[in-house]
Structures are given as structure tokens and as C-alpha cells.
Chains A and B, each alone.
Chain A
Amino acid sequence: MSMAKGNPDTLTADGCKTEGALPASATRNACKLCTPLGAAMVFKGIRGCLPFLHGSQGCATYIRRYMISHFREPVDIASSSFSEDDAIFGGARNFAQGVDNVIRQYEPELIGVATTCLSETIGDNMLGMIKEYQDKHNGDGPPLVHVSTPAYTGTHSDGYYSAIRELVKAFVKPTRITQPRMVNILPAMMSCADLRHLREICAMYEMDATILPDYSSTLEGSSWDCYHKISPGGTSIEDVAEMGSAAASIEIGHTQAGDKNSAASWLEREHGVRRDALGWPLGIRLSDQFFAAMAAISDRPMPEQLADERGRLVDAYVDAHKYVSGKRAAIFGEPDMVVALAAFMSEIGVRPVICATGAKVKKWKELLASEIEGGTADIEILSDSDHAKLAAAARELKPDIILGSSKGYPLARELKIPLVRIGFPIHDRIGAQRMLSVGYRGTMELFDRVANALLEGKQDFSETGYSYL
């Protein structure tokens, strides 16, 4: 059977090349996911927590499906399964029934409630409904925490950060004690391996870390000898409650830095926990900043092991610089990851000629400019972008490599350039959970992947078929 060749976004129904003005009103192949997904991801990182979406059941099923295809782990998300009546008269009855059923089946330690477009729009009073439920049950049963996540405002990363903020606000207890060996880490939407490495780094600095969220074992667990209703692992509510006594919070993500409403800003304001706002520790410069902050908080010098890793990373940069320097990259994904990747590309001599995100980010240009050496005049900086816009820019600017999720594959295939998979979702490869990219060690793994992808590309398209490069 003959199939029309090319990226589907460039072909008419007859398989001809499209022409004329690019459609601007519609979103074509979105470069973002919806806010409840981000919230569900955070709830999956809390011990004994069952995520619950208040709205139609399709949202929960879709998000489950999407997360399962990335993490390849059980992802149970409940829903209040709205019907037409509930959409008209409100979802209170379904909510109460739903919570009852969840408690009966799962015996959760916490229920994380995120509202969908539907329940947000009909104006269900979530806090009132939660209170009513709890009053009726005399406060028995697990606590419920609510995060507002209408998908028509923001993207999955907004849902992610909002859920962290609501958890902190709901559970952190007032305290006068400061525990100098305790640190809070508020990470961005990273891989399980990244979260594990952050914990390991904290231990190297002899610090006890509360990582919120920590889905490193709930979304990448071992094989089971018995069935777990809720995957073991995650940050406990007790640990969240203690976050007010930590020596400091490290909040990761450039977009969070300027946000006075962020979780760590709130902790600083309400509980006097110092906040360090940092980018993803990816690449040498951003990792250096992270480790400097860890050193300051812990009052410990950089552990020898990390210093060694840094040394080896510099050595790796040197060994491979000729294969990468002068190359051009297209980067897409969540805003904070894109900024960090742009910084990393920039420091290894790869020009990040396209930096795209589906989110609408305040001061997106400035954020990127702060991490890209040599100005951004020649760089296509796209916010509120979809994959069709990203692809149009890439056809123009001809990058040598793409960094982003699996969704970049059609473009990579069209342009015959490698795609280095990073971010979410990765559903056409095994091991998304295990891809490490933070710290010196993670940077080294990512760097090798980038350099090798370029080498492999060179080899694949060489007529000679060199076996020694």
C-alpha cells in the first residue's frame, strides 16, 4: 500500500504539499498537556495518595493512559464520573460517592483532588464540598487536598507547580524550630532517576531532604510479590508537615523564580524557610549553582565524589567537543526544562536555534537570554507554540538535532536528524523513568546521548559507512 510521505502536518488530504498562509487560529499538534495531568503527577509522588479528578471520567482515563505509556507502571486515578445531570446540577453527590468508593477500595492516606474544565466552569465549590464531606464523616478518613486545574488556563507544568503549592499550604505545620540538617527540594517535572539523584546528592551533603513530590519509586517501582493498591513510596504527609522547619528550600525552575506565589515563596513568607530559586541543575553552570547552594545550606564543601564527577564531565566535553560544537539544536517542552537545555547546549557550543514551549510564559525571551551565551538575535524563541509552528521554524532554520519528547519524532524523521528524547511523554522508547539528566552525572549521560546521536546520524548518512569515527 502506498502511503503519503512526509509529516502529516504538511500534507493536504490528497497527499500534496500544503501551501498558502499557515493556519493561526487552531492549535495544530499541541506542545503541551493539560493542567490536571501535572497535578496528578504530583499526587502520584505522595505516599499513599490517590489522585481524584472531579469532572468527567474521560479526563482521568486519558491521563492514566498517557502516564502509563510513559512510566509503564500502574497509575490509578479516580474520577467523580460526571453525567449530564451533574454537569447541570453540580457534582456534589458524585463527589461524595466517588470519595466513599475510593476510600472503600484503596484505603488511601490522602486523596488529591484536581478539578477539570467541566467542574471549574460550572463553579462547583470544591472546598465547600470537601468540608461538607469531612463534617459528615466527623473528620474520619484520609485528608483531602484540592488544587484548581482548569485546562483552559495554563499547561501541565502549571498544574504541577500548583499542586505542590496546595500541598505545602495544606499540610505544613507552624514551628519555631529550625533543623539545620534538613532541606526542602521542590523539583520540576523530572524523571524518576533525576529525583533519586537529587536525594543522593542531598545525602552526600549530609542533609535530610524532603523532596516534594517524589514519584521516583511510585512511578518506577520493583516487580511486586503482592498487589499494591497504591504503589509504595512517595513523600509522606508527615514529612510535608515538617517542611516549615527546614534550613532552606531549593525550588527548581526558572519560571518559578519570579513567582511570589510559588510553594517555596510561601514557605519563606509564612514559615521563614529561606528560599533558593534555581534552574534545573543541568549542564555544568547550572549544576554548579545548585551545588553551591547545597554547600551553603549544608555548610559542607563539595563532596569529593561530585568533584570527581565534574572533572570527568569536563573531560567528556573536551573529548567530544569537535563532534558537537558548531551544531544547531531545536529544543521543545516544558518551559523550565527548555531553559536548562538551552543553557546546556549553549555551554557545549551547540546553538539552540529554536527554543519552543507550548506554555505562555511571562518574559520567556528574557529567561532564555539569561542562559544563552552570545545573545538570542538568531534564535527562534516560541512560546504558546504548537508542533506545527515548531516544525515550520525547523524547516527554515535546519537544526542538526532535536531535544524533546517523543512528539518530536515526526519532525526528526522528516528532517532526517536525530531526536534525543527528554521530557514527557516518551512513549516510543523504553526507560523514560531511568533517563538521568540532572547533576554532573546526569549531564554526562545526556551529553553522551547528544554526542552519540550526532555521531550515529553522521554514520547513518555516510556513504562510506565508517566504522571508526
Chain B
Amino acid sequence: MNSVNTPSSIRVLDDRTAQVWEKGSGKEFVCDKKSAAGSVTQRACAFCGSRVVLYPIADALHIVHGPIGCAVYNWDIRGSLSSGSQLNRNSFSTDLAEKEVIFGGEKKLKASLIELINFYKPKAAFVYSTCIVGLIGDDVEAVCKQVTKETGIQCIQVDSPGFKGTKKSGYQAACEAAYKLVGTGDTSNISKYSINLLGEFNIAGEAWMIRQYFEKIGIEVVSTITGDGRVDDLRRCHGAKLNLVQCSGSMTHLSKLLKDDYDIPMERVSFFGFEDTARAIYTAAEHFGDPELMRRAEELVREEISKYAPKLKQYKKRLKGKKAALYVGGAFKAFSLVLALRALGMKTVLAGTQTGSAEDYEQLKEICDPGTVIVDDSNPLELAKFVLEKDVDLFIGGVKERPIAFKLGVAFCDHNHERKIPLAGFEGMVHFAEEVANSACSPIWQFAPRRQAKALRLPEAEATTPLAREEGGAA
């Protein structure tokens, strides 16, 4: 039998033991490596990384050059909203067939691009190379050049075959591609107090909320880059005076390019939770060194917090003392979540990410409580192990983590790019608290077999343990 009653009967793979760390253990921690074969990683591939980052550029054409699977699994899955064009919500693909795999797909790509550009009149086109294209060696760059010349619409290759590095390499490819647009627009009337927001994907309209904060205090938002993104905004984003980077995993490379070529400084920020949102606004205001700006920032934060803090109180009362597990894409997000959960009186007992960097994890280690497990590039079995081991009340993750929690009678909060509820900013924090409370305090958990056995002290709860241990030993 394949069932597990004790967390100890799930073993962490030898290849991965250095990627699991417990605060207080003093052990070394390793991250930033490719996933072990057969480990059932929660990560996707380089192609996925590039596709998700560029997806919200709404008035560009996005075409996946490859067999159909890669395009189809990405069709309109993100919760990123656009205030106008909806072109990005389509799934375009060259849908390569066997004959093109043998004889090359350049002709089909060219024909597809020209037809789609004539029909949809995009502002630019992104062409994503998948595994097969990387392999058969189609000269995508040359096709892009030709089509750009023939149509006048800039076609940009996104060099992201799935096998090329990790999901992070896909982020890098996306930044390189987006950067090809930068520097080609007019920047003459951009304010001296101006910013770009990088790595804010406008999930359920979050970028709109954040943009308002800055506009209210007198800072111009030149581009949200990939949140409600527009080609023309990208073309002129080099005119902004400061870059605020939210999702550092995906956008650090672009901000670095902007720093190197245009000398635009960057600050890492987060808009998740009261504390981090306020800090982000202050960071921008401080940067420009105008006391009036700072005064308005303080006023805004005060107003917003006084509006939403009372609403949080009721949730806090219900959630106090509960234990949470996190498994998210990037570590910076985890960092914010730990603080936000703490603000709700909850304790984070597991903090894991798919693609955190060493620097990110250092910060994460610092803010976590002793005993907290930190894990890099985990998999469903390990996550289940930690849920059991730490006896968590709430899991925060994405679609792939959801069934792990639910099967074990644990509440769940969706915090990836597919969600449709804005969780960022001051108002978002109330949504977050509401979602967490609605799941964690739902009466349904009393019926979950795992909880029931414990609550009723059913004999099976203890009786099965030695057996499971035996199985674990045999494994």
C-alpha cells in the first residue's frame, strides 16, 4: 500500500536534502539548481517562464512556435486584467505537424505571423520558441526580421525552448525580449517624479489600485510593464526616474538592463500586506526627496490604513494562532506573506518557493520563526509531509498545491497568477484576510477524516501509525 500516516514515511530525496532547511538547524541550504529528474517538481519550464511574464502585454500578438501543447495549456489562464486590448487572451500557435518538424517550420511561422498581424493589427509581436524549435533549429530571428520589414510591426523572438535552463531562464528570455521595445518611444513629457512598476501583473486589477496610490501622491507611473502592459508604454519606460520591482524573480534582469543603459535606479518592493505596501510607497516618495511628496505619502497611508484596519480586526480574532504553510513562485512574495500572516495573528511553519534566489532565502530565513521549514523547488510528496509534520491549518499556493491541502482537510488560499481576487495593496489585504478566514474557519473541516479521527480520538488514528512506520522503513 501506498498510504502514509506519519510524515516520517515520506522521505526527502537524497538529491534534494540540501534544499530543505529548518530554522535553528544550522544546516547548509542550497537553491538555484535545476530540478532533479523524477522529483515531480512543481516548477514548469523556461518556455512557461517567458510566456507568463509577457502574457499581460495586452496589445501585442503572442504566438507560440511549436506543437500545440505548449500554446494550449497557456490559453487565457492568467488573472491579469487589461483596461483595453484583449488580444493577449488568445492562444496563437503554429501548431507544428510532423512534416514541419522534419522540414522546418519557418515557412509556416512566417505565413502565420503575416496573417495574424494583418488581421489583429497588434502593436508588436512576440514569437516564443519551444523545445522543438530549439531542436530543429528554425531561424526564428530571421523570420522575425523579415516579417518586421514586410509588415512594419516589430516582431520579437522570445528564445525560450523549455529545456533551456529553468523557469528562471524563461524570465530572462522574456526580459531580453521586452527590452527590445525599450528606448524607442518619446520620453519628453515624463515627470521628474516618475516610476516604472516591474513585475506587477495586474491580477484582478491590482496594478490599477497601486497605480492610484502613486498618482494620488503625485508620482507618475510611466509603465506597469507587464501589468495591463502596453507596447507603447514599454517603448518609453526608459524615461522614468525610478524602477520599483515587485516580482524580483521575473523582472530583476530587465531592471538591471535599465540601470546599466539608462542609469535608472531600482528598489525592490512588495504591495502585499499593510506593512509592505506602506513601505513601498514611502520608498518611492523618499527616493525623490521632496518633503511634500513624503507628506502626501504619509497621509495616503494613514487614510488607507484607518479605512481598512478595523475590517481586519474581526478576521484577526478568528485566525489567531493558526498555522500556515506557503509554497509560492518567488521568495520575495513568501517574505511578504509571512509578514501579512503575522499581522493576522498567524504563524508560518513552512515557507517554500519554486525559484527563490540565495539572497531571497537569506531574508526569508531571517524573518521566519524558529522551527519554520524553508524549502526550495519542492514536490507534492514533500509538501504533504510538511503539512502533516507541522499540522498546518492553512496552505497558500497555486492550483497544483490545492489538492494536497484539500485531501488532508486543510484550508487553502490561492496566491498564484490564476486567482481572480485582488490581494495587493491595503484593500487587497482585507480580501486576503477574508479569503483565508472563509477557508480556514469553514465548518466543513470537522468532517475531514483526518481531523475527525483526531477530534474523536478514533482508535484507527493511533493504530495505523506503527504500520505506516514499518512501510516507511521498508521504502
Task: Tell whether A334 is near chain B: CB-to-CB under 8 Å.
Answer: no
| Interface residues as binary, A56-83 with B (CB distance below 8 Å gives 1, 0 otherwise) | 1111111111101100111111111111
Task: Compute how far the CA of A20 lies from the CA of B84 in the bound complex, rounded to whole angstroms.
Answer: 22
Residue pair A117, B132 in contact (C-beta under 8 Å): yes
Select which of B83, B118, B131, B409 is within 8 A of A2 by beta carbon. Answer: B83
Residues of A within 8 A of B93 (CB): 26-27, 30
Residue pair A102, B72 in contact (C-beta under 8 Å): no
Task: Tell whether B406 is near chain A: CB-to-CB under 8 Å.
Answer: yes
Query: Which of A92-100, A311-319, A440-448 faces chain B?
Result: A92-100
| Interface residues as binary, B167-202 with A (CB distance below 8 Å gives 1, 0 otherwise) | 000000000000000000000000000000000000
Task: Tell whether B37 is near chain A: CB-to-CB under 8 Å.
Answer: yes
A106 and B2 in contact, given A8-B87, A81-B41, A101-B37 (Cβ under 8 angstroms): yes
Task: Compute how far the CA of A101 lies from the CA of B3 in the bound complex, rounded to whole angstroms.
Answer: 18
Select which of B67, B82, B100 is within 8 A of A151 by beta carbon. Answer: B67
Residue pair B450, A83 in contact (C-beta under 8 Å): no
Q: Which of A57, A118, A222, A228 has the most CB of B within 10 A?
A: A57
A97 and B94 in contact, given A4-B86, A117-B67 (Cβ under 8 angstroms): no
Whole-angstrom distance between the Cβ of A61 and the nearest chain B Cβ: 4
Task: Compute how far the CA of A78 lies from the CA of B61 in the bound complex, rounded to whole angstroms.
Answer: 33
Q: Interface size bucket, B side?
A: 35 or more
Task: Compute how far the CA of A99 lies from the CA of B13 in the bound complex, rounded to whole angstroms.
Answer: 12
Give the residues from 14 to 47 in chain A that come closer than 8 angstroms, CB to CB, to chain B.
14-16, 18, 20-30, 32-34, 36-37
Residues of A within 8 A of B70 (CB): 58, 62
Residue pair A29, B90 in contact (C-beta under 8 Å): yes
Residue pair B95, A30 in contact (C-beta under 8 Å): yes
Residues of A within 8 A of B89 (CB): 8
Residue pair A81, B475 in contact (C-beta under 8 Å): no
Whole-angstrom distance between the Cβ of B231 and the nearest chain A Cβ: 8
Residues of B within 8 A of A48 (CB): 2
Residues of A within 8 A of B34 (CB): 81, 83
Task: Tell whether B104 is near chain A: CB-to-CB under 8 Å.
Answer: no
Q: Which residue of B lies closest to A37 (CB)?
A: B69
Whole-angstrom distance between the Cβ of B35 and the nearest chain A Cβ: 5
Residue pair B84, A4 in contact (C-beta under 8 Å): yes
Task: Tell whether B101 is near chain A: CB-to-CB under 8 Å.
Answer: yes
Whole-angstrom distance between the Cβ of B5 and the nearest chain A Cβ: 4
Residue pair B69, A3 in contact (C-beta under 8 Å): no
Residue pair B388, A25 in contact (C-beta under 8 Å): no
A36 and B453 in contact, given A3-B82, A23-B119, A101-B37 (Cβ under 8 angstroms): no
Task: Compute how far the CA of A90 lies from the CA of B123 in the bound complex, rounded to whole angstroms.
Answer: 40
Instruction: Please report whether the interface of chain A is mostly helix, strand, loop or mixed according to DSSP.
Output: loop
Give the residues from 390 to 406 in chain B that come closer than 8 angstroms, CB to CB, to chain A.
399-400, 402-404, 406
Task: Tell whether A107 is near chain B: CB-to-CB under 8 Å.
Answer: yes
Residues of B within 8 A of A152 (CB): 67-68, 96-98, 100-101, 132
Task: Tell whether A260 is near chain B: CB-to-CB under 8 Å.
Answer: no
Task: Tell whether A230 is near chain B: CB-to-CB under 8 Å.
Answer: yes
Residue pair B41, A226 in contact (C-beta under 8 Å): no
| Interface residues as binary, B43-57 with A (CB distance below 8 Å gives 1, 0 otherwise) | 111111000000000
Residues of A within 8 A of B122 (CB): 12-13
Task: Compute how far the CA of A65 lies from the CA of B418 in the bound complex, rounded to whole angstroms.
Answer: 11
Task: Tell whether B4 is near chain A: CB-to-CB under 8 Å.
Answer: yes
Residue pair B464, A226 in contact (C-beta under 8 Å): yes
Whole-angstrom distance between the Cβ of B233 and the nearest chain A Cβ: 14
Residue pair B468, A226 in contact (C-beta under 8 Å): yes
Residues of B within 8 A of A27 (CB): 68, 71, 92-95
Task: Tell whether A198 is near chain B: CB-to-CB under 8 Å.
Answer: no
Residue pair B399, A229 in contact (C-beta under 8 Å): no
Task: Tell whether A122 is near chain B: CB-to-CB under 8 Å.
Answer: yes
Whole-angstrom distance between the Cβ of B100 and the nearest chain A Cβ: 7
Whole-angstrom distance between the Cβ of A126 and the nearest chain B Cβ: 15
Whole-angstrom distance between the Cβ of B284 and the nearest chain A Cβ: 23
Task: Tell whether B103 is near chain A: CB-to-CB under 8 Å.
Answer: no
Task: Tell whether B206 is near chain A: CB-to-CB under 8 Å.
Answer: no
Q: Which residue of A lies closest to B162 (CB)?
A: A56
Task: Tell whether B135 is near chain A: CB-to-CB under 8 Å.
Answer: yes
Task: Compute how far the CA of A232 lies from the CA of B89 in the bound complex, rounded to whole angstroms.
Answer: 37
Task: Compute how far the CA of A222 lies from the CA of B449 in the bound complex, rounded to whole angstroms.
Answer: 9
Whole-angstrom distance between the Cβ of A108 and the nearest chain B Cβ: 8
A26 and B38 in contact, given A121-B135, A230-B2 (Cβ under 8 angstroms): no
Task: Tell whether A296 is near chain B: CB-to-CB under 8 Å.
Answer: no
Task: Tell whether A467 is near chain B: CB-to-CB under 8 Å.
Answer: no
Query: Which of B108-116, B266-274, B324-332 faces chain A?
Result: B108-116
Residue pair B86, A8 in contact (C-beta under 8 Å): yes
Residue pair A30, B163 in contact (C-beta under 8 Å): no
Residue pair B116, A122 in contact (C-beta under 8 Å): no
Residues of A within 8 A of B100 (CB): 152
Residues of B within 8 A of A83 (CB): 34, 163, 165
Task: Tell whether A224 is near chain B: CB-to-CB under 8 Å.
Answer: yes
A224 and B43 in contact, given A1-B83, A84-B163 (Cβ under 8 angstroms): no
A55 and B68 in contact, given A61-B45, A100-B38, A224-B407 (Cβ under 8 angstroms): no
Task: Tell whether A86 is near chain B: CB-to-CB under 8 Å.
Answer: yes
Q: Which residue of A lies closest to B65 (CB)?
A: A26
Select which of A11, A33, A77 is within 8 A of B85 by beta carbon. Answer: A11
Task: Compute how far the CA of A74 lies from the CA of B63 in the bound complex, rounded to whole angstroms.
Answer: 31
Whole-angstrom distance between the Cβ of B132 and the nearest chain A Cβ: 5
Whole-angstrom distance between the Cβ of B463 and the nearest chain A Cβ: 12
Residue pair B163, A86 in contact (C-beta under 8 Å): yes
Task: Tell whether A225 is near chain B: CB-to-CB under 8 Å.
Answer: yes
Task: Compute how far the CA of A22 lies from the CA of B119 in the bound complex, rounded to whole angstroms.
Answer: 7
A58 and B162 in contact, given A12-B87, A223-B407 (Cβ under 8 angstroms): yes
Residue pair A28, B73 in contact (C-beta under 8 Å): no
Residue pair B38, A98 in contact (C-beta under 8 Å): yes
Give the residues from 247 to 269 in chain A that come closer than 8 angstroms, CB to CB, to chain B.
none
Residue pair B3, A229 in contact (C-beta under 8 Å): yes
A66 and B101 in contact, given A12-B87, A26-B115, A118-B131 (Cβ under 8 angstroms): no
Residue pair A224, B134 in contact (C-beta under 8 Å): no
Residues of A within 8 A of B131 (CB): 55-56, 82, 87, 116-118
Residues of B within 8 A of A87 (CB): 131, 134-135, 161, 163
Q: Which residue of A lies closest to B135 (CB)?
A: A121
Whole-angstrom distance between the Cβ of B71 and the nearest chain A Cβ: 7
Task: Tell whether A104 is near chain B: CB-to-CB under 8 Å.
Answer: yes
Task: Tell whether A227 is near chain B: CB-to-CB under 8 Å.
Answer: yes
Residues of A within 8 A of B399 (CB): 65, 68-69
Task: Tell whether B36 is near chain A: CB-to-CB under 8 Å.
Answer: yes
A34 and B121 in contact, given A105-B381, A107-B2 (Cβ under 8 angstroms): no
Whole-angstrom distance between the Cβ of B336 and the nearest chain A Cβ: 24
Task: Compute how far the CA of A6 lies from the CA of B87 in the bound complex, rounded to whole angstroms.
Answer: 11
Task: Tell whether A9 is near chain B: CB-to-CB under 8 Å.
Answer: yes
Residues of B within 8 A of A20 (CB): 118-119
- Excluding A1-B208, A32-B72, A74-B404, 15 further A-B contacts by CB distance (< 8 Å) are A3-B82, A4-B85, A12-B87, A13-B85, A23-B116, A25-B111, A28-B116, A29-B90, A30-B95, A61-B45, A76-B40, A83-B34, A84-B164, A221-B407, A224-B409
A-B contact pairs, 13 of them (CB 8 A): A1-B205, A21-B115, A26-B94, A37-B69, A79-B38, A82-B163, A102-B38, A106-B2, A118-B131, A152-B101, A225-B449, A225-B450, A227-B4
Residues of A near any B CB (own CB < 8 A) = 1-4, 6, 8-9, 11-16, 18, 20-30, 32-34, 36-37, 48, 52, 55-66, 68-69, 72-84, 86-87, 94-95, 97-102, 104-108, 116-118, 121-122, 150-153, 155, 221-230, 232, 407
What are the 4 tightest A-B residue pairs by CB atom distance, in nearest-first order? A58-B45, A34-B69, A98-B38, A101-B38
